[in-house]
Structure 1
Amino acid sequence: MFCWQIKRYRLFYSKWSKQFLTAIADLILRLNKESGMHSTTLLRSAITLLVLYMLSACETPANQDDLVNQNNTLKTELQSAKQKIESLSAEKRQLQADNSELERVKSVISTEKESRFNESIELRTSVRKFVQQRIAASKDFLLQGNLLDYIGGELLDRAELEPRLGTLVDLANPVPRKGILEGATGYFVNLTSLTVNVLRPINDDYLVVWKSPLLTTQKTGNSFLRFPTSVNIEAGDVIAYTFDTGDVLNFDRGTGNTRFSSKDFLLGGIIKTSSLKGASEKRAYSLGVYAILD
């Protein structure tokens, strides 16, 4: 019975120290009432339990100090971590604010740049349009005043009618100086369409360096056909005219040096002088071009 009581008191000790001390006091009171071997055994058990409690009591403060120190260390680390988190959060907010400001500035600069770019385009377009209008007016003035440079045969009605269609190469009137080609002209007995070619001499042959779009006459007699764009020409260039119909031009023999080819010339193609016919006939046609020469 007493052993069972000791076990019960030890259970109390393991759970609650205050109850354990109360149990030991109660056991000692019992010893005062008991005698014999059982009382001696009970006394030894009480002393053993008391010693164990005292030892545990001696160890408890050290364990408590360690726990307190660890708790304080953890609190310090937690406080430091909180401060770092707050600092990083503040830095993040500042970076977000800086980024927002940079995006705002970027948007403003982009808008200003686009505005200046559009203004520059409008200004250049207006200036270019004005200059083009002035150039066109100047060309019209030169044309109407018969002040453009003319390269070609005399514009008059001639003796014989040319029945063939093909390409006429005017070797009698090469370009005398470099300049800008503006348009073609001729004396036509019938309405027709033609293409003008610029041939550049390469040794004894010719290279087709420019070819006009198809031009259509609007009247018979003298007719001027303006090119859509001005064309640069060099000294020594030769002009060739390709017709898609015959019976549109008159010619004279023995006064010129116009050669004939039944083929249409291709841009970038090489024209062999030996392939051109009519050298012995020395034909002259009422064809030519207007240019502004240096």
Structure 2
Amino acid sequence: MKTVHLTYPVKENILSSKVVLALGFFDGVHLGHQRLITRAKKIAQKKDLPLVVLTFNRHPKEIYANKKDFKYLETLEEQADKMAELGVNYLAVLPFTKDFSKIKPQDFVDQVIIKLNADTVVAGFDYTYGDKNIANMATLPKYAQGRFDIEVMPKQIFAGKKIGSTEIRQAIRDGKMELAYELMGHHYVMSGIIGHGKRNGHKLGFPTANLVWAEHKVVPKIGVYATKTMVNNTWYESMTSVGYNVTINQAKKIYIESNIFDFDEDVYGKPMKIEWYKYTRGEVKFANLTELKKQLEKDQREIKAYFAKQHD
């Protein structure tokens, strides 16, 4: 799959051939997104056309609602990895700027959809391309003027609720990693590099890999989690703490630290990924490091037992 960064107005086609174009803001590439992309892929295969997914470099709320601290489920790179797995041929990324937010619906169709050579457009029922009262999927045929086919995906439901990125972000903030998994169809992932910590874990016999992550990512609720951690392109079972290290009086910065089971290598500065499985307890301030070590031993036993049960 190839990622293409566009400018507006789109001046030239990605491809000379017609394409099937999937529209959306695919943060998290959750089950609803996967169903939409799978549907678009089937149409592309039937018509023998490439599949292009069009997304934006930032959430429209950053502009519309002036949300400068908006938190995301995925970086663009993480999103691209999921798109490639789903068989997308091209991921087209359009900058969402203040000027772009003011374009008219007809201009979006003429200067984006048509310029990308769309044969068929696939989008969710709630996709908008301007003022939601006039630039929605119900009005798209008017602006399309018969120049491309339109496929509208209905609302995607799980346990009676809409599958949406907003709901998933809240689940992660609440430590409900199993719910996030059910809505996403995959475990929440945070990626980055391994940074230097205070080495307190090493002193306790529980060395940790400290994740340096993208600041705009959603951070799980403070506490301890059953996780899997990837280093050196290998996944290991692990336990991960999200917290302020309150026992050793570091209460200003959140740390994400993984104790990787059956692993003892120097990996500072290397890439790292964490898959989040289950919240096990909150952060506790212990009287001393001896009490903390006892709790870490208990955490490790419980989390190893959790993973052993998953394998049964």
How high is the TM-score relative to the length of structure 1?
Answer: 0.22
Q: Which has the higher contact order (CA 8 A, sep 6+)?
A: 1
How high is the TM-score relative to the length of structure 2?
Answer: 0.21
Bigger share in helix: 1
Question: Which structure would you say has the larger Rg?
Answer: 1
